[in-house]
Structure 1
Amino acid sequence: MRFAANLGFLWTDRALHDAIHAAAGAGFDAVECHMPYEEDPLAVRAALDQVGLPMLGLNTDHSGPEVGLGAIPGREVEARDDVDRAVEYAVAIGCATVHVMAGRSCRVDGSEATYRANLAYAAECAVEHDLTVLVEPITTNAFAGYHLQTVGQAVETIDALRADGVPDVVRVILDFFHVADMGDDVLDAAGRLGDRLGHVQIAAYPDRGEPDAGDLDFGTLIPAISAGYDGYFAAEYRPRGDLEAGLTWLSPWLAGRAA
């Protein structure tokens, strides 16, 4: 099992290249980020090369009130510009995936068709650069009205893209916190995703703190999901206190791997 640090949540007080070094020093196997676009991609790539960690993914721009434009009817030009920008930056830093943020469509008429069309565009761009496109069900308690809320919706979207002959490079992020907060069973959700599962993010539920407490049994979930998933488990949580002090959750996993 391999673990990644989400630098949109961890070491946020540092420039991205410094946060990359901090993650490496803490023992993480990889990193991911949210919106690195204000950072010099050459500096980011240099930091990754220096510590020998891969950058797993980044998001399309979600800084506006819509929280992304992927499923917002009438905003297709901007949404595709965001995809182009994300793909260009991903290629520059050697990043493997682009998460296309759906946005707060409130699932109005035409929003799912818009979403699928924009994902098809993203998939065509991704194929040119050997990238994967990711989508993520996000709880309504985080973003009210967000278009993609459940694993079932994600399955329906990807199956529709496949049926339409869209390049099969769109996969789903299984985020333990978001899935649990929408009332779904995490392990059951992973099974329903099957080969549509592309990435996993972990945090405690319900406080979204370090993955070592709360209602989710990480000692069971992580090994069980690993049986059918060979990717990374990305730590996307809010530290309950001092970040470094809270990293004790990671040590047993690293020790068990070395044994």
Structure 2
Amino acid sequence: MLGLRRFDVNLSILFTDLPLTARPAAAAAAGFTEVELWWPWPEDPEPPEAELAALRDALSAAGTRLIALNFYAGRLPGPDRGALSVPGEESARFRANVDVAAGFAESVGCRALNALYGNRVDGVAPGAQDALALENLAYAARAADRVGAILLIEALNAVESPRYPLTDVASAVEVVDRVDAATGLGNARLLLDLYHVAMGGSDPRDAVDRYARRAGHVQIADVPGRGAPGTGGLDFADLFSRLDGAGYGGPVGLEYRADGPGADAFGWLAEF
């Protein structure tokens, strides 16, 4: 018997036929009370207060709560996979965004902030990037702690993100541990994205069994295709049961693509 669980909808990949400020209401109409977002302004780590306020008001008016938010990560979707390990302007943009994102999270009651590591850069030693990453992740962890939030770190898959250094869950967990050791705060957690696990060629069942206890957030999409559960080959009934068995009681983020807008994307949820 599957336990009760919370599903939230990612408004950066679903309802994208609508303006950003219309998406919370669409999610509410589809039955969701919790949502998550990539950084909504990929070209601007410090958007005008009016834009932040408009999103804040849209969330409130819809009765939806933002439960996870990315820090600035460059052009996402697009060629970038984060900024915090990229020397120069991109790292500076990440730093400038940290207090903005944390402040917005605090204002809407969001308690999880995701920091994408960033791609390897030609001509820069990996060790230098990793040192910069640790410095910036510790900075972000401290900002998250000030607003009562956790810092999330995730692995992506090497098929779609070949220059991203964290392409297996174990490497992301190692970074989580390094950040906690550097800050002493213990608020860094794994973002366990089962789509990326499976796309990378690993067994998502094993990832859940091994690492769900380290997770502060879980995301799903089916493989192949990054569609809704049931469009690919993953056994979500088994994966959800394993999450239950591992004691994961947090939200499961729906970070998949859908062919049609609105509630048609969520028919599979009736099974759960």
TM-score normalized with structure 2 length: 0.85
TM superposition shift of 1:194: 4.6
Structure 2: segments with no counterpart, 5+ residues: 42-46
RMSD of aligned Cα (Å) = 2.1
Q: Which residue of 2 aligns with 1:49?
A: 60
Aligned equivalents of 2:18, 2:29: Cα separation in 1: 14
- Per-residue Cα deviation, 1:191-246 (whole angstroms, up to 9, x for no partner): 32254211011111111101123221011111220331111111100113455323
Confirm or deny: 8 A CA contact 1:181 1:205 kept in the other structure: yes
The 3 A distance-change label for structure 1 pair 72 and 105 is: same
Instruction: Select which of 45, 49, 67 maps to 2:81.
Output: 67
Aligned equivalents of 1:189, 1:251: Cα separation in 2: 25
TM superposition shift of 1:148: 1.9
The 3 A distance-change label for structure 1 pair 193 and 116 is: farther
Confirm or deny: 8 A CA contact 2:221 2:254 kept in the other structure: yes
Q: Does 1:8 align with 2:12?
A: yes
Q: Which residue of 2 aligns with 1:98?
A: 113
Instruction: Select which of 74, 82, 85 maps to 2:97.
Output: 82
Q: Which residue of 1 aligns with 2:189?
A: 171
Q: Which residue of 1 aligns with 2:25?
A: 21
TM-score normalized with structure 1 length: 0.88
TM superposition shift of 1:150: 1.2
TM superposition shift of 1:115: 1.4
What code does the residue aligned with 1:136 have?
A: E
What is the identity percentage for the equivalent residue pairs of Structure 1 and Structure 2? 36
Structure 1 residue runs of 4 or more that deviate by more than 4 Å after TM superposition = none
Q: Which residue of 2 aligns with 1:226?
A: 244
Confirm or deny: 8 A CA contact 1:210 1:238 kept in the other structure: yes
Aligned equivalents of 2:158, 2:74: Cα separation in 1: 17
> How many residues are aligned here?
253
- Per-residue Cα deviation, 1:25-50 (whole angstroms, up to 9, x for no partner): 11123101112345733332233333
Q: Which residue of 1 aligns with 2:162?
A: 144
Instruction: Select which of 178, 201, 204 maps to 2:222.
Output: 204
Aligned equivalents of 2:112, 2:226: Cα separation in 1: 24
What code does the residue aligned with 2:37 have?
A: C
Q: Which residue of 1 aligns with 2:257?
A: 238
